[in-house]
Chains A and B, each alone.
Chain A
Amino acid sequence: MDAGVMTGLLKSSKLIMVTGKGGTGKTTFACALALLGARLGRRTVLCEIDNQRPSCGAVFGRVPRFEPVDVLPNLSLSNIEFTGSLEGFIEQMVPMPRVVRLVLENKMVHRFLDFTPGSRELVIMSRLGALCDQNDLVVVDMPASGHAFSLLDILRSARGLFRSGPVRAHAEHLTERLRAATSRLVFVALPEEMVVNETLETMDRMAAASLIGGPPVVLLNRATLPSLTTDERSLLARLAEQPLDPVAREFVRAGRWEDRLEQATKTSVDRLRERFGHEPPLIPPAGGGGVPREIVTTVAVHLGRQVGLTRREVQWT
């Protein structure tokens, strides 16, 4: 496995944005990467974006609020809520506390922001920028692929829309931050054709828009590499063609299903390697009915090995 990918990602990036098709395990990986960043001694904040029902709280036992809450040494959580971000945003633009309150309490301003294209996203991105200034590493649990693109692409339209003024300057500044080599996108994929398709499509769109400076990374979740020999597979195929009783058929079905998943892993790894230019780290399936916290630990321990962290160093109680 390509250990350099994880090392580069965790040791030298400042901003890691985790995205992927829905249901691939974005939140799990965002949690695991943030945990590893903290374990490597970097002051890390894990962010959710304006999530009405934040989900990383279940993992670390604290509900994330707007102001980062510490959950472990070097690790804090934050939910980048719009209202909180707006206050910070206005404060940056108007350095007079009384006037800031006046603006925030004005209903028309909220209507204005609700309506002004991209202003919500811009305010949220702005908070992300502020967190980057205050921490060594910011890990973001981004929306699913297409929505992640829209969120990041908003800066480009903001520069078109606001032709002068501080918001314009601010959008320029944020664009530069994203274009720095220390800003990275992490895609979480599954060994399924449609998921790989969507991953590659989103990667292409992001690349075409030159939104993010650092090279993208892909991780393959629920991956199991082929384990059957040619002989074993041919016997399995013969069994599948045989008229069998229902119980025996179910055994064969179970075996064929696992074999297909393994084959799909191989195909997916090949396609992803070709386009991302690195060997995708593989994470084995977690098994049924897992507890979020245990799944995150398993993933973090697995990825931690590639950056020289032992199980004991990663785990927490």
Chain B
Amino acid sequence: MDLNPWLDRTKLVVCVGAGGVGKTTTAAAIALRGALSGRRTMVLTIDPARRLANSLGLDQFGNREARIDLSGMEGVKPGGELWAMMLDARSTFDALIHRVAPSDEVRERILANHVYRHMADTFAGSQDYMASEKIYDVAALGTYDLLVLDTPPVKNALDFLESPGRLVNFLDERVLSWFLDGSRSSRGGMMFGTSKVVFYLLGRVFGEQFIDDLSQFFRDFEGLYEGFRKRHQEVLDMFRAPTTQFVTVCAPSESSVDVASFFLSEFERRALPCGGIIVNQVHACSGQTHDAESVLGATARSLGGDLPPAVAASVVARLGMAHRRLHTLAMADHALARGLKSRYSGRLPGFFQEVPRMEDEVHDLPSLREVGRALFDQDAAPLSS
């Protein structure tokens, strides 16, 4: 199965998986591959750590789109560009308010609200929420042919798909009116029984001042609900489009394969388009064991003629041990990868690809290109067979 046509027809690749499996590197390598093939490509990360910048050889970059200089690369097809962006939840949130606010006055009130200012910075999951917001924005602009999204290493599911739902749920008109009635009536009136008690307690626990701030915030937000709901639906539609492909990345370790399995079952459950599975950092070894002396002994002695005689012998012995260790690791990796593949064969569409561990750490464009070659220049196995 050739993965090049797969990438050609894909407009959004979402990479998910455990931490430390090379997810960011994989996302950057896929994006670079897209750029080399002549597409205007953007890779976007939600990761609070500066990992993507690291792997692109940049010192740092912020919420702004940064163009990666490909002039040193050979064979970039015409039109090919690589852009990268790291999210700043706050400014994305502000932009969203600008878009959905019914009037300038409401917008200014919200932006200045005490609760809003904290929410934009710290709202649980707002990073994730803003990622889906931002990627929708970037996709809607239509200026990029290919988008690659690198997600944070959260164990708990595809939170970034859920958090907009959380916000919309709260802004649900019924909840809003409960809250607004409560705050109007907490000083006498309209609300009775349990609701009144609960509301009173919320005030006692969280402080009257906070409840007042929050009520003001909700009053301003009332008119925004419809806009939020509509956008949430559009974002979900984008993630479910056939030109979107979710790819799960894992390393040959029990725990990351376990996380990958979890994501794969989530793809099934949420009807998300499954692109495939990438097992990264696989130790490669021909699978044969040999005696180091017969393989290298004579060569080492002749090359080390000017060195003390013990040097050649110890190097040969050392290479023998290193190779045995590599062989053991490669066998274990292979068994783990095979197990994962057989578990999902026939259950999900998509590909299964192994990427060997690179000899050096991947943190510049040439080494990202190598990862891309390993990913795209060798046939992948189809999961569907």
A residues near B (Cβ < 8 Å) are 21-24, 27, 50-53, 55, 90, 93-94, 99, 102-103, 106, 108-109, 111-112, 114-121, 143-147, 149-150, 153-154, 157, 160-168, 192-194, 197-198, 201-202, 228-229, 231-232, 234-236, 238-239, 242, 244, 246-248, 250-258, 260, 264, 287-289, 292
The CA-CA distance from A153 to B121 in the complex, in Å, is: 11
A161 proximity list for chain B (CB < 8 A) = 114-115, 118, 210
The CA-CA distance from A255 to B321 in the complex, in Å, is: 8
The CA-CA distance from A292 to B314 in the complex, in Å, is: 34
Q: What is the distance, in angstroms, from A219's C-beta to the closest C-beta of chain B?
A: 15
Among B198, B208, B322, contact of A251 (Cβ-Cβ < 8 Å) = B322
| A117 and B326 contact, Cβ closer than 8 Å, known pairs A23-B251, A108-B179, A257-B359 | no
The answer to whether A22 touches B194 (Cβ under 8 A) is no
The answer to whether A260 touches B206 (Cβ under 8 A) is no
The answer to whether B124 touches A117 (Cβ under 8 A) is yes
The answer to whether A289 touches B202 (Cβ under 8 A) is no
The CA-CA distance from A90 to B361 in the complex, in Å, is: 49
B233 at the interface (CB under 8 A from A): no
The answer to whether A194 touches B21 (Cβ under 8 A) is no
- Give 1 or 0 for each of B111-155: 1 = CB within 8 Å of chain A CB: 000110011011110110000000000000000000000001111
B11 at the interface (CB under 8 A from A): no
| A147 and B169 contact, Cβ closer than 8 Å, known pairs A23-B256, A231-B308, A247-B288 | no
The answer to whether B55 touches A194 (Cβ under 8 A) is yes
The CA-CA distance from A108 to B198 in the complex, in Å, is: 9
B48 at the interface (CB under 8 A from A): yes
For B255, give the chain A residue with the smallest CB separation.
A55
Q: What is the distance, in angstroms, from B172's C-beta to the closest C-beta of chain A?
A: 8
| A288 and B152 contact, Cβ closer than 8 Å, known pairs A165-B204, A231-B308 | no
Among B54, B118, B175, B311, contact of A160 (Cβ-Cβ < 8 Å) = B118
The CA-CA distance from A161 to B114 in the complex, in Å, is: 7
| A257 and B18 contact, Cβ closer than 8 Å, known pairs A146-B152, A235-B315 | no
A257 proximity list for chain B (CB < 8 A) = 322, 326, 359
The answer to whether B205 touches A117 (Cβ under 8 A) is no
B380 at the interface (CB under 8 A from A): no
The answer to whether A194 touches B205 (Cβ under 8 A) is no
The answer to whether B20 touches A24 (Cβ under 8 A) is yes
**Interface pick from B35-43, B63-71, B331-339:** B331-339
What are 13 A-B pairs with beta-carbon distances under 8 A?
Answer: A52-B156, A52-B157, A94-B205, A146-B48, A157-B121, A163-B207, A164-B208, A167-B206, A198-B54, A231-B308, A247-B288, A251-B320, A288-B331
| A102 and B194 contact, Cβ closer than 8 Å, known pairs A23-B256, A118-B124 | yes
For B360, give the chain A residue with the smallest CB separation.
A260
| A198 and B51 contact, Cβ closer than 8 Å, known pairs A118-B118, A251-B292 | yes
The answer to whether B311 touches A120 (Cβ under 8 A) is no
Which of B21, B115, B308, B319 is packed against the most chain A CB atoms within 10 Å?
B319
B329 at the interface (CB under 8 A from A): yes
The answer to whether A254 touches B363 (Cβ under 8 A) is no
The answer to whether A114 touches B153 (Cβ under 8 A) is no
**Interface pick from B99-107, B240-248, B268-276, B297-305:** B297-305
Given A201-B50, A260-B359, 13 more A-B residue pairs with CB atoms under 8 Å apart are A23-B20, A23-B251, A23-B256, A108-B175, A114-B166, A115-B167, A117-B122, A150-B122, A194-B54, A238-B304, A254-B319, A258-B322, A288-B332
A23 proximity list for chain B (CB < 8 A) = 18-21, 251, 253, 256
The answer to whether B210 touches A232 (Cβ under 8 A) is no
A147 proximity list for chain B (CB < 8 A) = 48, 152, 154
The answer to whether A22 touches B20 (Cβ under 8 A) is yes
B50 proximity list for chain A (CB < 8 A) = 197-198, 201
The CA-CA distance from A99 to B122 in the complex, in Å, is: 29
Among A160, A162, A234, A238, contact of B206 (Cβ-Cβ < 8 Å) = A162
B192 at the interface (CB under 8 A from A): no
Q: What is the distance, in angstroms, from B234's C-beta to the closest C-beta of chain A?
A: 21
Top 7 closest pairs, chain A to chain B, by CB: A22-B19, A23-B20, A165-B207, A146-B48, A288-B332, A289-B332, A164-B207
The CA-CA distance from A54 to B155 in the complex, in Å, is: 10
Q: What is the distance, in angstroms, from A228's C-beta to the closest C-beta of chain B?
A: 7
B-side interface mostly? helix
Q: What is the distance, in angstroms, from B157's C-beta to the closest C-beta of chain A?
A: 7
The answer to whether B326 touches A103 (Cβ under 8 A) is no
The answer to whether A201 touches B49 (Cβ under 8 A) is yes
B194 proximity list for chain A (CB < 8 A) = 102, 106
The answer to whether A94 touches B201 (Cβ under 8 A) is yes
The answer to whether A165 touches B205 (Cβ under 8 A) is yes
The CA-CA distance from A289 to B258 in the complex, in Å, is: 13
The answer to whether B51 touches A251 (Cβ under 8 A) is no
Interface residues of B in 20-38 (CB under 8 A from A): 20-21
The answer to whether A228 touches B18 (Cβ under 8 A) is no
Among B48, B166, B253, B361, contact of A115 (Cβ-Cβ < 8 Å) = B166
Which of A27, A55, A116, A253 is packed against the most chain B CB atoms within 10 Å?
A116
For B308, give the chain A residue with the smallest CB separation.
A231
B21 proximity list for chain A (CB < 8 A) = 22-23
The answer to whether A236 touches B315 (Cβ under 8 A) is yes
| A287 and B328 contact, Cβ closer than 8 Å, known pairs A23-B256, A255-B322, A260-B359 | yes
The answer to whether A239 touches B299 (Cβ under 8 A) is yes
- Give 1 or 0 for each of B259-270: 1 = CB within 8 Å of chain A CB: 000100000000
Q: What is the distance, in angstroms, from B129's C-beta to the closest C-beta of chain A?
A: 12
The CA-CA distance from A153 to B169 in the complex, in Å, is: 26
The answer to whether B153 touches A22 (Cβ under 8 A) is yes
Q: What is the distance, in angstroms, from A101's C-beta to the closest C-beta of chain B?
A: 11
The CA-CA distance from A63 to B300 in the complex, in Å, is: 54
B290 at the interface (CB under 8 A from A): yes
Which of B154, B201, B288, B359 is packed against the most chain A CB atoms within 10 Å?
B201
B115 proximity list for chain A (CB < 8 A) = 117, 161
B209 at the interface (CB under 8 A from A): yes
B207 proximity list for chain A (CB < 8 A) = 162-168
The answer to whether A112 touches B208 (Cβ under 8 A) is no
The answer to whether B167 touches A228 (Cβ under 8 A) is no
